[in-house]
Amino acid sequence: LELANDLWQAIDRQEMRLFYQPKFRSSGSELIGFEALLRWQHPTRGLLMPDLFLPRAEKTGQIVALGNWVINEACRQLKQWHKEGNSRWTVSVNLSALQFHQRDLLNTLAQALSHHQLPSGALMLEITETIAMRDPLFSQLRIRELQQLGVKIAIDNFGIGYANLLHLKHLEASELKIDRSFINCLRADSEDATVVSAMLTLAQSLNLSMVAEGVETEEQQRLLTGLGFDALQGYLLGKPTPAEYVSEFMTIAS
Ligand code: G
Ligand code: G
Ligand code: MN
Ligand code: NA
């Protein structure tokens, strides 16, 4: 409750931070972009993870202001990287249910992109499978609007919710991020490889780019690359870090 009160001032007091987790193309390991992950540098409690304050922010509606800040800050940082010569990098931003349904979302995005003079295709929005499937028709229309604006859509945490495959087809997203619970236990001799491989076939038939998150071991990296994943993310390749440290990932990539 205390946190909820502090949250109203947190943006003004510049206590919010974005950490960036790198995403690599699986063949050749080229660094292709980052997922932005919110942190709260609280004055007395230290660095707070989103699970501690986002659920409440969603209930109070504070998530909208917070989410708008995230979109603008991610665009500012991405423009900075583009100016530094990394003009092919993309940034993915997680959207909450409320944000996804919010009327103003398209304006907010269009303004942030034009203010920072970014090509809209450099920004990707992640919505969870659960959010996307709650009201499939709305999601389909909303995703179409977003695609028309030029931003890309990823279906996040795929495989743990109620994915209706027909709806998935109609959503016309760009990317499918397989939930890390499928990746975590992945080993060459495990059945999970069969499940993941089936998801891959599905994604390919729907023209979706396939991303594995939660890659923690070299064995997983080898397996996923062999299976034909397009991109990989996980602690093995890079943990979420402040923007000033992302150059460290570039040496891994080359
Ligand atoms: O960063 P971490 O792995 O602790 O993230 C925990 C959860 O918080 C994840 O589900 C992630 O998608 C979510 N999350 C992180 N940053 C944001 C954000 O800016 N907006 C929303 N809506 N969710 C976020
Ligand atoms: O729900 P979403 O997929 O957006 O959540 C991303 C969260 O997953 C972030 O909080 C991030 O810190 C976490 N994460 C990223 N890579 C790994 C990993 O390799 N292992 C684990 N356990 N968590 C990860
Ligand atoms: Mn995500
Ligand atoms: Na995810």
- Integer Cα distance of 239 and 89 in angstroms: 17
- pTM for the predicted model, two decimal places: 0.96
Ligand 1 centroid from CA 21, angstroms: 11
Instruction: Note the residue count of the chain.
Output: 254
Reported as a single tens digit per residue, the pLDDT across 10-42 is 999 999 999 999 999 998 789 999 999 999 999
Report residue 1's pLDDT band, with 50, 70 and 90 as the boundaries: low
Q: Cβ(216) to ligand 2 under 6 A?
A: yes
Q: Give the ligand at the shortest distance from the Cα of 235.
A: 2
Work out whether strand 152-158 and strand 16-25 pair parallel, antiparallel, or are unpaired: unpaired
Q: Which CATH number fits domain 2-253: 3.40.50.150, 3.20.20.450, 3.30.70.940, 3.30.499.10?
A: 3.20.20.450
SS3 assignment, position 11: coil
Mean pLDDT computed over 222-245: 96
Q: What angle do CA 15, 20, 21 make, to 5 degrees?
A: 145
Q: Cβ(70) to ligand 1 under 6 A?
A: yes
Mean pLDDT computed over 215-231: 95
Can you read off the two tokens belonging to residue 218? Answer: 């070299």
CB 108 within 8 A of CB 93: no
Mean pLDDT computed over 172-200: 89
Q: Cβ(38) to ligand 2 under 6 A?
A: no
Ligand 3 centroid from CA 127, angstroms: 8
The neighbouring-strand residues paired with 154 are 126, 175
Phi-psi region of 125 (alpha: psi -120 to 50; beta: other; left: phi over 0): beta
**Confidence at residue 253, expressed as pLDDT on a 0 to 100 scale:** 46
Phi, psi dihedrals of residue 208, rounded to the nearest 5°? -95, 140
**Confidence at residue 219, expressed as pLDDT on a 0 to 100 scale:** 94
CB 26 within 8 A of CB 230: yes
Identify the residue whose C-alpha is closest to ligand 2 atom 11: 240
Can you read off the two tokens belonging to residue 25? Answer: 């193309």
Reported as a single tens digit per residue, the pLDDT across 74-99 is 999 999 999 999 999 999 999 999 99
**Confidence at residue 254, expressed as pLDDT on a 0 to 100 scale:** 43
Q: Give the ligand at the shortest distance from the Cα of 62.
A: 1
ipTM: 0.98
Count of Cβ atoms closer than 10 Å to residue 89 Cβ: 20
Q: Residue ranges per domain, the chain?
A: 2-253
Identify the residue whose C-alpha is closest to ligand 2 atom 1: 157
Q: What angle do CA 144, 132, 23 make, to 5 degrees?
A: 85
- Integer Cα distance of 25 and 230 in angstroms: 6
Reported as a single tens digit per residue, the pLDDT across 129-179 is 999 999 999 999 999 999 999 999 999 999 988 777 778 888 989 999 999
Residue 226 has pLDDT above 60, yes or no: yes
